[in-house]
Amino acid sequence: MRMHVYITRVTAPSIASSRWELYRVLAEPLRLRLLALAAEEELSIGELAEIMGEGQPNVSRHAAALRQAGLLADRREGTRTLVRLAAGAMADPVVADALGSGRALCEGDGSLGRIAKVLQAREAPAHEFFARPGRGKVDALPAEMGAYLAALAPLLPRRALAVDAGTGDGRLLEVLAPLYERVVGIDRSEAQLARARERVAARGYENVTLLREELDSREVRSAVGVGADAVFASRVLHHAPRPAAVVAQLASLCAPFGALVVLDYVRHDDETMREQADAWLGFEPAALRRFARGAGLDDVHVTKIPEPLCGDGPDRHLPWQVMVAKKKGTDNG
């Protein structure tokens, strides 16, 4: 019988086999800088090389030394390798001190400030992709679908307000508008919102407000007020340069006891989806749970969507999943 042994690469405070080895690994200034940058944001080797002004082979070599010492964790994402500070590494006082020194070096050479530029570069393909004008007619749903949804609406215990974050051409509005008393659709692309307005007008949705804004803008906060009963983000997260930060923004729009619903892809290896402005090739369910809990959400559930339900678009071959999580609140009853 052949026995298969699987070994995961994430180590944490097994941090170096001995203390002198840890000091040796941290004696290189470039590694201190790399460690500080990886603590700030999960970054690919190529992005780190750009930020640090170093060659990729050199950065990869130093990252490997830090990973072997248990200070960095890495993961494959298509053809990219992304690294981040290993969980629990900061608990070691030597590592914490090294991070402080590395951060000072990065502030001094300006590399810390270059992270924002790299994150903007991640987002640029999505901006360009969604700025393209829409083509064709508004796709049709069964004529009676809205009536079916309106009939289900009274079964929802909380349906005063729903938010559709990244509403795009407004497809999800077809579902939300008959269910909720008020719906706010948010997008940054005027081209996409033009399609959504056409859809809203064609369907006669008088309870829908469309905003061309960032999620954290004053206008969005004003429209949402004390919070939404449900916030939806359908196939938005894989376009975000910082998905964890986006989940936190979405969670902040939820009212106490409100729900966040994120529909996105399971992790896959189809690099051609980058042509659709995908910054990430899906997410492991554990990553979605981590994002939700990091945003202060509770009662997190991740469920795979059956393939026949995934439409007929260019992403129909990908595995889809939905995460539902609840915002904590105070029950005065």
Rounded alpha-carbon distances, angstroms, from residue 237 to 36, 166, 196: 25, 9, 20
- Alpha helices by DSSP H, listed for the chain, are 19-25, 29-40, 45-52, 56-68, 93-109, 115-130, 145-152, 173-179, 190-203, 218-224, 243-252, 285-294
For the ranges 20-29, 39-48, 133-142, the lowest mean pLDDT is seen at 133-142
What value does the mean pLDDT of the chain take?
89
Which tokens is 227 given? Answer: 């919070």
Question: Which of 4-18, 117-131, 267-281 has the largest mean confidence?
Answer: 267-281
**What is the sign of the dihedral through the CA atoms of 88, 91, 93 and 98?**
positive
Classify strands 254-265 and 320-327 as parallel, antiparallel or unpaired.
antiparallel
Q: Residue 125: its pLDDT value, please?
A: 84
* Six token digits for residue 176: 């939300």
Contact predicate 264/235, CB 8 Å:
yes
Asked if residue 5 has pLDDT above 60, the reply is no
Whether 165 and 186 have beta carbons less than 8 Å apart is answered as yes
Q: What is the mean pLDDT of residues 185-196?
A: 95
Q: Which distant-in-sequence residues (6+ apart) come within 8 Å of 29 by Cβ?
A: 105
pLDDT band at 9 (very low <50, low <70, confident <90, very high): very low
Share of the chain above pLDDT 90, in %: 73
The predicted model gives 204-232 an average pLDDT of 96
What integer pLDDT is reported at residue 134 of this predicted model? 67
Mean local confidence (pLDDT), 223-252: 96
Report the run of H or E that residue 73 belongs to, with start and end: strand 72-77
Least confident of 8-12, 133-137, 178-182, 299-303: 8-12
Please give the single-letter amino acid code of residue 26: L
Rounded to an integer, the average pLDDT of 7-19 is 49
**What are the angstrom distances between the C-alpha of 138 and each of 143, 172, 174, 187?**
13, 13, 11, 18
Q: How confident is the model at residue 165 (pLDDT cuts 50, 70, 90)?
A: very high
Sign of CA dihedral 262, 43, 129, 252: positive
pLDDT at res. 247: 98
Which region among 6-15, 22-31, 82-91, 266-275 has the lowest average model confidence (pLDDT)? 6-15
Res. 143: pLDDT tops 80 = no
CB 282 within 8 A of CB 266: yes
pLDDT band at 2 (very low <50, low <70, confident <90, very high): very low
Residue 12 pLDDT: 42
Per-residue pLDDT for 303 more than 70?
Answer: yes
pLDDT for the residue 168? 93
Query: pTM for this structure?
Result: 0.77
Domains annotated for the chain, with CATH where assigned, are 19-113 (1.10.10.10), 145-327 (3.40.50.150)
| Best CA proximity match to 262, nearest among 306, 303, 313 | 303
Distances in Å between the alpha carbon of 229 and those of 48, 112, 119, 214? Answer: 40, 38, 31, 20
pLDDT higher than threshold 70 for residue 16? no
pLDDT at position 332 over 80 = no
